[in-house]
A and B are shown apart, each in its own frame.
Chain A
Protein backbone atom coordinates (compact mmCIF):
# COMPACT_ATOMS: atom_id res chain seq x y z
CA UNK A 1 0.00 0.00 0.00
CA UNK A 2 1.45 3.31 -1.09
CA UNK A 3 1.51 5.98 1.61
CA UNK A 4 2.48 9.63 1.35
CA UNK A 5 3.23 12.01 4.21
CA UNK A 6 3.76 15.74 3.89
CA UNK A 7 5.93 17.65 6.33
CA UNK A 8 7.15 21.19 6.75
CA UNK A 9 6.60 24.45 8.63
CA UNK A 10 3.01 25.32 9.33
CA UNK A 11 3.68 29.05 9.38
CA UNK A 12 5.57 31.10 6.81
CA UNK A 13 6.04 34.86 6.75
CA UNK A 14 4.93 36.89 3.74
CA UNK A 15 7.57 37.26 1.00
CA UNK A 16 9.46 34.24 2.32
CA UNK A 17 9.74 30.75 0.83
CA UNK A 18 7.47 27.83 1.65
CA UNK A 19 9.24 24.47 1.71
CA UNK A 20 7.51 21.10 2.00
CA UNK A 21 8.65 17.50 1.81
CA UNK A 22 6.62 14.45 0.94
CA UNK A 23 7.89 11.06 2.08
CA UNK A 24 6.64 8.10 0.07
CA UNK A 25 6.48 4.57 1.45
CA UNK A 26 5.24 1.35 -0.09
CA UNK A 27 6.57 2.26 -3.51
CA UNK A 28 9.62 3.78 -5.17
CA UNK A 29 9.32 7.26 -6.66
CA UNK A 30 11.99 6.31 -9.16
CA UNK A 31 10.31 3.06 -10.11
CA UNK A 32 8.75 4.53 -13.22
CA UNK A 33 5.11 4.63 -14.37
CA UNK A 34 4.07 7.37 -11.99
CA UNK A 35 4.37 11.09 -11.59
CA UNK A 36 4.25 12.65 -8.15
CA UNK A 37 2.24 15.80 -7.74
CA UNK A 38 1.42 18.69 -5.46
CA UNK A 39 -2.09 20.03 -5.02
CA UNK A 40 -3.36 22.68 -2.62
CA UNK A 41 -6.70 23.64 -1.14
CA UNK A 42 -7.48 26.92 0.61
CA UNK A 43 -9.86 26.54 3.53
CA UNK A 44 -13.41 25.95 2.35
CA UNK A 45 -12.42 26.14 -1.29
CA UNK A 46 -11.60 23.92 -4.23
CA UNK A 47 -8.44 22.17 -5.31
CA UNK A 48 -5.60 23.71 -7.30
CA UNK A 49 -2.98 21.66 -9.12
CA UNK A 50 0.50 23.04 -8.43
CA UNK A 51 2.70 20.73 -10.43
CA UNK A 52 4.23 17.30 -10.82
CA UNK A 53 7.60 15.60 -10.98
CA UNK A 54 8.83 12.34 -12.42
CA UNK A 55 11.40 10.15 -10.74
CA UNK A 56 14.02 11.41 -13.19
CA UNK A 57 13.43 14.97 -12.01
CA UNK A 58 11.41 16.11 -15.01
CA UNK A 59 8.74 18.61 -13.96
CA UNK A 60 5.59 20.37 -15.11
CA UNK A 61 3.87 23.11 -13.17
CA UNK A 62 0.83 25.34 -13.23
CA UNK A 63 1.57 28.47 -15.28
CA UNK A 64 -0.15 30.56 -12.61
CA UNK A 65 2.57 29.54 -10.15
CA UNK A 66 5.38 28.45 -12.44
CA UNK A 67 7.78 31.29 -11.75
CA UNK A 68 7.59 30.64 -8.00
CA UNK A 69 7.54 26.85 -7.92
CA UNK A 70 10.49 24.50 -7.66
CA UNK A 71 10.12 20.74 -7.30
CA UNK A 72 12.76 18.09 -6.75
CA UNK A 73 13.15 14.44 -5.82
CA UNK A 74 15.54 12.65 -3.50
CA UNK A 75 15.45 9.06 -4.68
CA UNK A 76 17.73 7.86 -1.89
CA UNK A 77 15.22 9.06 0.70
CA UNK A 78 12.18 8.36 -1.52
CA UNK A 79 11.06 11.94 -1.03
CA UNK A 80 9.81 14.77 -3.17
CA UNK A 81 10.03 18.42 -2.28
CA UNK A 82 8.18 21.61 -3.11
CA UNK A 83 9.33 25.18 -2.67
CA UNK A 84 7.12 28.18 -3.34
CA UNK A 85 8.82 31.54 -3.23
CA UNK A 86 7.54 35.04 -2.43
CA UNK A 87 4.47 33.77 -0.62
CA UNK A 88 1.47 35.91 0.24
CA UNK A 89 -1.68 35.29 2.26
CA UNK A 90 -3.23 33.85 -0.91
CA UNK A 91 -0.86 30.91 -0.60
CA UNK A 92 -2.42 29.86 2.72
CA UNK A 93 -3.84 26.40 2.13
CA UNK A 94 -3.67 22.71 2.88
CA UNK A 95 -0.94 21.29 0.67
CA UNK A 96 -1.22 17.70 -0.54
CA UNK A 97 1.23 15.46 -2.30
CA UNK A 98 -0.31 12.76 -4.45
CA UNK A 99 0.64 9.99 -6.82
CA UNK A 100 -0.41 10.64 -10.38
CA UNK A 101 -1.39 7.36 -11.95
CA UNK A 102 -1.82 6.21 -15.51
CA UNK A 103 -4.77 4.64 -17.31
CA UNK A 104 -4.10 2.86 -20.60
CA UNK A 105 -7.10 4.54 -22.24
CA UNK A 106 -6.82 8.07 -20.91
CA UNK A 107 -3.19 8.46 -19.92
CA UNK A 108 -1.81 10.25 -16.89
CA UNK A 109 -3.75 12.58 -14.65
CA UNK A 110 -5.38 10.38 -12.02
CA UNK A 111 -4.51 11.12 -8.41
CA UNK A 112 -4.95 7.71 -6.83
CA UNK A 113 -2.96 8.05 -3.60
CA UNK A 114 -2.84 11.17 -1.46
CA UNK A 115 -1.06 12.31 1.64
CA UNK A 116 -3.15 13.56 4.55
CA UNK A 117 -2.21 17.14 3.74
CA UNK A 118 -0.43 19.81 5.73
CA UNK A 119 -1.77 23.25 6.52
CA UNK A 120 0.52 26.12 5.67
CA UNK A 121 -0.44 29.57 6.89
CA UNK A 122 1.21 32.68 5.51
CA UNK A 123 1.19 35.37 8.15
CA UNK A 124 3.54 37.76 9.86
Chain B
Protein backbone atom coordinates (compact mmCIF):
# COMPACT_ATOMS: atom_id res chain seq x y z
CA UNK B 1 0.00 0.00 0.00
CA UNK B 2 1.28 3.45 -0.92
CA UNK B 3 1.44 5.79 2.06
CA UNK B 4 0.63 9.43 1.38
CA UNK B 5 2.14 11.95 3.79
CA UNK B 6 0.91 15.53 3.87
CA UNK B 7 2.70 18.46 5.44
CA UNK B 8 2.21 20.48 7.40
CA UNK B 9 -0.74 19.17 9.36
CA UNK B 10 -1.89 22.73 9.94
CA UNK B 11 -0.91 25.78 7.92
CA UNK B 12 -1.60 29.33 9.09
CA UNK B 13 -1.73 31.92 6.33
CA UNK B 14 -3.26 35.39 6.04
CA UNK B 15 -6.04 36.11 3.56
CA UNK B 16 -4.69 37.39 0.27
CA UNK B 17 -1.41 35.53 0.67
CA UNK B 18 -0.26 32.27 -0.87
CA UNK B 19 -0.47 28.83 0.67
CA UNK B 20 1.72 25.90 -0.32
CA UNK B 21 0.62 22.42 0.72
CA UNK B 22 2.82 19.37 0.27
CA UNK B 23 2.08 15.71 -0.35
CA UNK B 24 4.64 12.94 -0.52
CA UNK B 25 4.11 9.37 -1.73
CA UNK B 26 6.03 6.41 -0.33
CA UNK B 27 6.71 5.29 -3.89
CA UNK B 28 6.19 6.79 -7.31
CA UNK B 29 2.59 7.43 -8.33
CA UNK B 30 3.55 9.08 -11.61
CA UNK B 31 1.06 11.94 -12.11
CA UNK B 32 -1.89 9.95 -10.73
CA UNK B 33 -2.49 12.36 -7.89
CA UNK B 34 -5.65 14.23 -6.93
CA UNK B 35 -6.40 16.96 -4.41
CA UNK B 36 -9.68 17.44 -2.54
CA UNK B 37 -11.08 20.20 -0.37
CA UNK B 38 -13.35 19.35 2.53
CA UNK B 39 -15.55 21.71 4.49
CA UNK B 40 -16.87 20.72 7.93
CA UNK B 41 -19.80 18.34 7.70
CA UNK B 42 -19.49 18.01 3.93
CA UNK B 43 -18.10 15.49 1.49
CA UNK B 44 -14.74 16.18 -0.12
CA UNK B 45 -14.74 18.13 -3.36
CA UNK B 46 -12.40 17.24 -6.22
CA UNK B 47 -10.04 20.15 -6.91
CA UNK B 48 -7.22 18.77 -8.98
CA UNK B 49 -6.32 15.59 -10.82
CA UNK B 50 -3.41 14.41 -12.89
CA UNK B 51 -1.38 16.40 -10.35
CA UNK B 52 -1.97 19.69 -12.17
CA UNK B 53 -5.35 19.73 -13.93
CA UNK B 54 -8.09 21.73 -12.26
CA UNK B 55 -11.46 20.04 -11.96
CA UNK B 56 -14.51 21.71 -13.47
CA UNK B 57 -15.38 24.97 -11.77
CA UNK B 58 -12.22 25.23 -9.67
CA UNK B 59 -10.84 28.78 -9.60
CA UNK B 60 -7.54 29.54 -11.31
CA UNK B 61 -5.96 30.55 -7.99
CA UNK B 62 -5.60 26.81 -7.32
CA UNK B 63 -2.63 25.17 -8.98
CA UNK B 64 -0.93 21.82 -8.63
CA UNK B 65 2.49 20.52 -9.50
CA UNK B 66 4.77 17.56 -9.08
CA UNK B 67 5.19 14.00 -10.26
CA UNK B 68 6.64 10.80 -8.93
CA UNK B 69 6.67 11.16 -5.15
CA UNK B 70 6.54 14.90 -4.47
CA UNK B 71 3.48 17.07 -5.07
CA UNK B 72 2.37 20.57 -4.21
CA UNK B 73 -0.97 22.34 -4.11
CA UNK B 74 -0.65 26.12 -4.25
CA UNK B 75 -3.47 28.52 -3.50
CA UNK B 76 -2.73 32.11 -4.47
CA UNK B 77 -4.61 35.13 -3.17
CA UNK B 78 -6.32 33.19 -0.38
CA UNK B 79 -9.98 33.93 0.08
CA UNK B 80 -12.09 33.25 3.16
CA UNK B 81 -13.73 30.20 1.59
CA UNK B 82 -10.33 28.53 1.06
CA UNK B 83 -9.62 27.97 4.75
CA UNK B 84 -10.59 24.30 4.87
CA UNK B 85 -8.98 20.88 5.00
CA UNK B 86 -7.18 19.53 1.94
CA UNK B 87 -6.41 15.91 1.10
CA UNK B 88 -4.21 14.37 -1.53
CA UNK B 89 -5.04 10.97 -3.04
CA UNK B 90 -3.03 8.63 -5.24
CA UNK B 91 -4.78 6.52 -7.83
CA UNK B 92 -1.75 4.92 -9.42
CA UNK B 93 -2.09 1.69 -7.45
CA UNK B 94 -4.75 -0.20 -5.56
CA UNK B 95 -5.74 0.37 -2.90
CA UNK B 96 -6.27 4.06 -3.57
CA UNK B 97 -4.88 5.94 -0.59
CA UNK B 98 -5.32 9.41 0.87
CA UNK B 99 -3.09 11.63 2.91
CA UNK B 100 -4.10 12.58 6.43
CA UNK B 101 -4.94 16.10 5.41
CA UNK B 102 -3.69 19.65 5.86
CA UNK B 103 -5.88 22.12 7.67
CA UNK B 104 -5.51 25.62 6.26
CA UNK B 105 -6.36 28.18 8.91
CA UNK B 106 -6.52 31.94 9.03
CA UNK B 107 -3.44 33.59 10.51
Contacts and interface: CB of A to CB of B under 8 A. Distances in A.
Contacts of A103: 49-50, 53
Interface stretch (B10-18, B38-46, B69-77): B38-46
* Size class of the contact patch on chain A: 20 to 34
Contacts of B50: 103, 105-106
Interface string A78-110: 000000000000000000101000010111111
Given A47-B44, A103-B53, A114-B43, A109 B34 contact: yes
Contacts, number: 65
Main DSSP-derived SS at the A contact region: strand
Given A63-B95, A64-B95, A103-B53, A45 B100 contact: yes
Main DSSP-derived SS at the B contact region: loop
Contacts of A60: 94
B23 to A, nearest CB: 12
Interface in B89-105: 89, 91-92, 94-101
A46 B91 CA distance: 16
20 contacts: A45-B100, A47-B44, A64-B95, A96-B43, A103-B49, A103-B50, A105-B50, A105-B53, A106-B32, A106-B49, A106-B91, A108-B91, A109-B32, A109-B91, A109-B96, A110-B34, A110-B46, A111-B46, A112-B55, A116-B42
A103 B31 CA distance: 12
Contacts of A110: 34, 46, 49, 55, 91
B87 interface: yes
Contact of A115 (B1, B43, B97, B101): B43
